[in-house]
Chains A and B, each alone.
Chain A
Amino acid sequence: MDQSVAIQETLVEGEYCVIAVQGVLCKGDSRQSRLLGLVRYRLENDVQEHALFLYTHRRMAITGDDVALDQIVPLSKDFMLEEVSPDGELYILGSDVTVQLTTAELRLVFQLPFGSHTRTFLQEVARACPGFDPETRDPEFLWLCRHRCAESEAESPKPREWNSDPGTRSGFAPIGGGRYQSWNARRGLEDVLPRGPGYILLWGGATKEPEFLLAEEVHEGGPVRGPRARGGRRDEALEEADWEMSAGGGSRERDCAGGYNVDSSRPNGRGLLPLDQSSGARCPDKPENSLTRQNRSKAEITDMVRSSTITVSDKAHILSMQKFGLRDTMVRSHLLQKEGEYTYIQNFRFFVGTYNVNGQSPKECLRPWLSSDTKAPDVYCVGFQELDLSKEAFFFHDTPKEEEWFKAVSESLHPDAKYAKVKLIRLVGIMLLLYVKQEHAAYISEVEAETVGTGIMGRMGNKGGVAIRFQLHNTSICVVNSHLAAHTEEYERRNQDYRDICSRMQFSQVDPSLPPLTISKHDVILWLGDLNYRIEELDVEKVKKLVEEKAFHTLYAHDQLKIQVAAKTVFEGFTEGEITFQPTYKYDTGSDNWDTSEKCRAPAWCDRVLWRGKNISQLSYQSHMSLKTSDHKPVSSVFEIGVRVVNEELYRKTLEEIVRSLDKMENANIPSVTLSKREFCFENVKYMQLQTATFTIHNGQVPCEFEFINKPDEETYCKQWLTAKPSRGFLLPDSHVEIELELFVNKATATKLNSGKDTIEDILVLHLHRGKDYFLSVTGNYLPSCFGSPIHTLCYMREPILDLPLKIVNELTLMTVQTADDRSQLEKPMEIPKELWMMVDYLYRNAVQQEDLFQQPGLRPEFEHIRDCLDTGMIDHLCANNHSVAEALLLFLESLPEPVICYSAYHSCLECSGSHTASKQVISTLPTFHKNVFSYLMAFLQELLKNSAKNHLDENILASIFGSLLLRSPAGHRKLDMAEKKKAQEFIHHFLCNPL
């Protein structure tokens, strides 16, 4: 029953009861029950504070009404909760855990019930303890104020010290560190044994004072795993231990508070990247995970994994989902598949005994039963039924017999070996004990025990079963002791009890995300107990006679268990050895005589041992007549069981191979493509003449996302004159895509290319998402053009631009207007660019009467022809449509890096657009060549206007066309201000209608 629910009801918003445990508060001789709840409060910024809420309660707390707040202990920095052992007392295995709570003000001692829930609770508390990192602020616990009143009402007026208990001793490794200690123990097996006072030994010989090995401490201490448990969990735990060892730095206090807080205890103690803190928010798909796994047991998954073969493409997909933890899962599944390569079968001797003791206390030595074998068994599984028939045992679940029989067994184990108790589990009178030879203790892991009652109401513990499951080396083993329904005619009831035990017996797993394990999910199952099946259809005397004749085979035919197993109604898949001993029930107590009581029960083989699994052979199966304490005789069976043992060296090798193969696979699954071409040469690139090149990206086996990415300090993935289409995309395996590279030089890029400041050279980086990068190199040469060249540069080019050496073109392009005006140093320039003259002259000669001149588009191929004629000076070859030439002229003006009316004069022009005189004044300030070009163009336009009857041009049309070409805003094209545009037209308008 999770009592945190009851506590939660008493809390206010923002507070959350993480876990609760019911314990006993010890003060002096007084014992009071308390409910301990670990309460978390979340402040802003994801800061959390914790406090321990102590409640008094009535009955088992189910609702908030059942509990009353007694005390609150904030988990401040001085808070410590550590496990102690009661001084001077023999540590009783499976007994309560004594913990001491200390803060600066108080000391409380609690006894908490033994078991995994308490472990979890202690772990949670340890985890919640604030670290000693000086950088984290002290918790303030302001939120606790609202509880203080309630608390003080309930609190007893006694001073806080009342609780200090001189009978306990502290100073053992605190909870956090304790785990490390047990781990240390696990690693060096020999070191385990007589350590700190918490560890007590049990010697099989029992010659002196009995001592006990606290096997539970080792096996159940927190999240501790077995050695090389499936998938080699030991490594994991060792790593964990390493962490803590290096983290602790010998400081216990630190261990206590921060032992579980891995963040604050990184090896160098500097708190590296404390990502854990935000982890809670970052596992969106965990529920999904646990959902899919919920319906499958680990063993089932194990079986599936063992038999599965993952195809490469599956793996590729799995690996390509780069999620944390997947790699682990893959390694685990590979390890399972290859288990045979690194494990070998080693035989272990198991003693399995069952004894219905009829409520008696041990009166005689159990050696004849437990130690009759010459060889000392490796494992003891000893089961009792009817341990205590008293009402007290039934109702309060408490009996002194447990301890009595436990001692009796412990003292009678085989004298040739030392044993460690692994586990004791009891349900009313059904008790099961598990011991292993001391040297095997380190290889026992994942020990869990559970009970199922099938008695009164089908639930009570007068009948039912108890079971212990564990892992020995790499083999999982489940031992069940059951006491099934009585009476000859009730065999159906017994069958049902068996089925109930099978279905209701569930062991929780170390990994809480895994579903509980059932009995059937174990490699080896040993089932013992008073199964209560009788000999039917024969009268008592007949049975006794047959027994006397040792005619067991005749009796078998009437044995209900044999009949039921044969009918497959019970114990399916189980085997029982041949029974060569007389029925073990029912005798007169203290004798070997058959029952002489009124009921005069017929003899029956009630007490049996069955098994299921591979590599099991039964060495003996017998009863022990010399024991006379009960009306039953004890039964024993010795087995040789083949257990999978890990060869450390082979395991390491296998693990390395797997890791390496995963590495390889990961590398193989880096996306990879082939490119049909990686070098692109664009020759003789001309102004505004598109050149294209194509190549194909062929994808390999991994889906990939590709993209051309920017190089450092560049804003685009390639130069302005280049584009890749498409520049990004996604490719399925084995598919391909064609990429087109387009090279186009326009007015924005031409000038730089003319000047040599830029060249047709670029490297494109084709990046594959999660993969490699490919470099594509683009080379070529640009043929300079008058388009994009400055006016003054062209004026100095007396030769066609393409006839000039490139160096001269570069130099002239870089020349400033100011230098150009200072004619002294240079060859005599022309008044205006010859290319401009060629176009204007052509139009003057052919197109003054052309209708809609400048208003109809030219022909694209003709533009290329015009450009070539201009750049090569082959003016005589110029033969083109008037509209084409007109458009070329406009393009020429548009391509000028500095407009005819210089950028610097732009604003003054707009300002004086209202006055012709002022406008003329501005023009006069232009650099000479610009002034020349302006006047030349205006003269030409005026000439056109003279023919307006034919060409339909007027001042307004021309002003609007040329206004925006001759007067260009230094701000660029981005904002086309209508007012500015209008003023520019007005400005030009003056020069069209007034004489120059």
Chain B
Amino acid sequence: MATTPYNYSYIFKYIIIGDMGVGKSCLLHQFTEKKFMADCPHTIGVEFGTRIIEVSGQKIKLQIWDTAGQERFRAVTRSYYRGAAGALMVYDITRRSTYNHLSSWLTDARNLTNPNTVIILIGNKADLEAQRDVTYEEAKQFAEENGLLFLEASAKTGENVEDAFLEAAKKIYQNIQDGSLDLNAAESGVQHKPSAPQGGRLTSEPQPQREGCGC
């Protein structure tokens, strides 16, 4: 009969990638909890968080995978890229090395996700202007050359954090709308939830997909 009002119609899978210590987990925490985690331990593994957002009146559940940034785990974290609709590629504006490594992260992201995966470049720690090591302009240019969305953000102040996740979602939603993202494709990273008839039909909540991990 009617759509259920508070439920979401889509699930988008996101991954957050980038060098160790650029603030990936803090961005996730800020986005899901609206809080800054002051002494965030290194992520050794993969964490995930969810939040429901609204894009063009559609409720969308973001399922965000935050991966370990350490190089030694790279081989393992690669397996989490699969089926991502959006990728947040993060560097630290105060550490040039994290910026220099972007091309390698980008290569992984391009190779391991589908062609329609929306990649957004995020220069984190924008609150540390005094220690800036990467200019906004050069990063912007890098993003443009590679067809990436780009924002500078601060997980500490929360500046642009919300936008970073939302911009990517808007772009993905737009891709769905104009048909360039085929939801039927196995690895679109988007699941569509049809509205349930009144009285409730049961569908199991989709599990985070772990293809390739054999579970």
Q: How distant is the Cα of A855 from the Cα of B197 in the complex, in angstroms?
A: 75
Interface 1/0s, chain B 49-79, versus A by CB < 8 A? Answer: 1111000010000000000100011011011
Asked whether any CB of chain A lies closer than 8 Å to the CB of B2, the reply is yes
Q: How distant is the Cα of A833 from the Cα of B196 in the complex, in angstroms?
A: 75
- 8 Å CB contact of B203 from A239, A324, A711, A774: A324
A763 engages B6 (CB within 8 Å): no
Known: A273-B194, A279-B197. A775 touches B45 (CB 8 A): yes
Residue of B at shortest CB range from A232? B5
Which A residues from 738 to 775 make CB contacts under 8 A with B?
763, 765-767, 770-775
A324 engages B76 (CB within 8 Å): no
Asked whether any CB of chain B lies closer than 8 Å to the CB of A44, the reply is no
Q: Which residues of A contact B46 (CB under 8 A)?
A: 772-773
Residue of B at shortest CB range from A289? B200
Asked whether any CB of chain B lies closer than 8 Å to the CB of A223, the reply is yes
Residue of B at shortest CB range from A779? B72
Q: Which residues of A contact B200 (CB under 8 A)?
A: 283, 286, 289, 324-325, 513
Residue of A at shortest CB range from B82? A712
Q: Which residues of B contact A195 (CB under 8 A)?
A: none
Interface 9-mer from B87-95, B96-104, B146-154, B206-214: B206-214
A777 engages B199 (CB within 8 Å): no
Known: A236-B4, A263-B194, A327-B6. A282 touches B213 (CB 8 A): no
Min CB gap B28→A, angstroms: 10
Min CB gap A271→B, angstroms: 9
Q: Which residues of A contact B212 (CB under 8 A)?
A: 712-713
B198 engages A282 (CB within 8 Å): no
Asked whether any CB of chain B lies closer than 8 Å to the CB of A156, the reply is no
Q: Which residues of A contact B186 (CB under 8 A)?
A: none
Interface 9-mer from B119-127, B132-140, B175-183: B175-183
Q: How distant is the Cα of A225 from the Cα of B2 in the complex, in angstroms?
A: 10
Min CB gap B117→A, angstroms: 18
Q: How distant is the Cα of A270 from the Cα of B185 in the complex, in angstroms?
A: 13
Known: A275-B203, A276-B194, A283-B200. A775 touches B179 (CB 8 A): no
A282 engages B202 (CB within 8 Å): yes
B202 engages A239 (CB within 8 Å): no
Q: Which residues of A contact B3 (CB under 8 A)?
A: 236, 239-240, 243
A775 engages B76 (CB within 8 Å): yes
Which B residues from 158 to 201 make CB contacts under 8 A with A?
176-177, 179, 183-184, 191-201
Asked whether any CB of chain A lies closer than 8 Å to the CB of B144, the reply is no
B202 engages A325 (CB within 8 Å): yes
Known: A273-B183, A711-B76. A767 touches B215 (CB 8 A): yes
Residue of A at shortest CB range from B200? A325
Asked whether any CB of chain B lies closer than 8 Å to the CB of A918, the reply is no
Min CB gap A768→B, angstroms: 10
Q: How distant is the Cα of A21 from the Cα of B85 in the complex, in angstroms?
A: 49
B213 engages A322 (CB within 8 Å): no
- 8 Å CB contact of A322 from B44, B45, B192, B205: B205
Q: How distant is the Cα of A512 from the Cα of B210 in the complex, in angstroms?
A: 39
Interface 1/0s, chain A 702-725, versus B by CB < 8 A? Answer: 000001011111000000000000
B179 engages A328 (CB within 8 Å): no
Asked whether any CB of chain A lies closer than 8 Å to the CB of B7, the reply is yes
Asked whether any CB of chain A lies closer than 8 Å to the CB of B47, the reply is yes
Residue of B at shortest CB range from A714? B214
Asked whether any CB of chain B lies closer than 8 Å to the CB of A659, the reply is yes
Known: A289-B200, A765-B45, A772-B45. A324 touches B205 (CB 8 A): yes
Asked whether any CB of chain B lies closer than 8 Å to the CB of A670, the reply is yes
Min CB gap B92→A, angstroms: 22
A328 engages B213 (CB within 8 Å): no
Q: How distant is the Cα of A776 from the Cα of B176 in the complex, in angstroms?
A: 38
Which A residues from 633 to 657 make CB contacts under 8 A with B?
655
B48 engages A678 (CB within 8 Å): no
Min CB gap A695→B, angstroms: 13
Min CB gap B2→A, angstroms: 5
Q: How distant is the Cα of A774 from the Cα of B43 in the complex, in angstroms?
A: 8
B192 engages A512 (CB within 8 Å): no
Which A residues from 673 to 704 make CB contacts under 8 A with B?
678
A242 engages B179 (CB within 8 Å): no
Q: Which residues of B contact A513 (CB under 8 A)?
A: 198-200
- 8 Å CB contact of A667 from B33, B76, B195, B203: B33
- 8 Å CB contact of B73 from A262, A267, A763, A772: A763
B2 engages A765 (CB within 8 Å): no
Q: How distant is the Cα of A882 from the Cα of B7 in the complex, in angstroms?
A: 76
A324 engages B201 (CB within 8 Å): yes
Q: How distant is the Cα of A130 from the Cα of B28 in the complex, in angstroms?
A: 46
B214 engages A710 (CB within 8 Å): yes
Known: A327-B6, A767-B213. A286 touches B199 (CB 8 A): yes
Asked whether any CB of chain B lies closer than 8 Å to the CB of A734, the reply is no
A270 engages B72 (CB within 8 Å): no
Q: How distant is the Cα of A777 from the Cα of B68 in the complex, in angstroms?
A: 13
Q: How distant is the Cα of A272 from the Cα of B185 in the complex, in angstroms?
A: 11
Interface 1/0s, chain B 22-48, versus A by CB < 8 A? Answer: 000000000011000000000011111
Q: Which residues of A contact B215 (CB under 8 A)?
A: 707, 709-710, 767
Q: Which residues of B contact A766 (CB under 8 A)?
A: 45
- 8 Å CB contact of A663 from B50, B68, B210, B214: B50
A712 engages B213 (CB within 8 Å): yes
Asked whether any CB of chain A lies closer than 8 Å to the CB of B107, the reply is no
Which A residues from 238 to 279 make CB contacts under 8 A with B?
239-240, 242-243, 262-263, 267-268, 270, 272-276, 279
Q: How distant is the Cα of A239 from the Cα of B196 in the complex, in angstroms?
A: 13
Asked whether any CB of chain A lies closer than 8 Å to the CB of B130, the reply is no
Q: Which residues of A contact B49 (CB under 8 A)?
A: 667, 670
Residue of A at shortest CB range from B46? A773
B195 engages A262 (CB within 8 Å): yes
Residue of B at shortest CB range from A668? B33
Q: How distant is the Cα of A678 from the Cα of B42 in the complex, in angstroms?
A: 12
Q: Which residues of A contact B199 (CB under 8 A)?
A: 286, 289-290, 511-513
Known: A242-B57, A273-B183, A712-B79. A670 touches B202 (CB 8 A): no
Q: Which residues of B contact A236 (CB under 8 A)?
A: 2-5
Residue of B at shortest CB range from A323? B202
B198 engages A777 (CB within 8 Å): no
A283 engages B198 (CB within 8 Å): no
Interface 1/0s, chain A 967-979, versus B by CB < 8 A? Answer: 0000000000000
Asked whether any CB of chain B lies closer than 8 Å to the CB of A24, the reply is no
Known: A240-B2, A240-B3, A262-B194. A268 touches B179 (CB 8 A): yes
Q: How distant is the Cα of A331 from the Cα of B193 in the complex, in angstroms?
A: 18
A325 engages B48 (CB within 8 Å): no
Q: Which residues of A contact B7 (CB under 8 A)?
A: 324-325, 327-328
A223 engages B192 (CB within 8 Å): no
Residue of A at shortest CB range from B61? A663
Asked whether any CB of chain B lies closer than 8 Å to the CB of A285, the reply is yes
With A325-B4, A328-B5, A709-B215 given, can you name 18 additional A-B contacts, CB distance below 8 Å? A223-B1, A236-B3, A243-B195, A263-B194, A273-B184, A284-B202, A324-B200, A324-B202, A325-B200, A328-B6, A512-B199, A710-B213, A711-B75, A711-B76, A763-B72, A763-B73, A765-B213, A772-B47
Selected A-B contacts with CB under 8 Å, 28 pairs: A223-B198, A232-B5, A235-B6, A236-B5, A240-B3, A243-B3, A273-B183, A273-B194, A276-B194, A276-B197, A279-B197, A324-B205, A328-B6, A328-B7, A511-B198, A659-B52, A663-B32, A663-B52, A664-B32, A710-B213, A711-B75, A711-B76, A711-B213, A765-B45, A767-B215, A772-B46, A774-B45, A775-B45
Q: Interface on B for A, CB 8 Å cutoff?
A: 1-7, 32-33, 44-52, 57, 68, 72-73, 75-76, 78-79, 176-177, 179, 183-184, 191-205, 207-208, 210, 212-215
Closest A-B pairs by Cβ, 4 of them: A322-B205, A236-B5, A325-B200, A710-B214
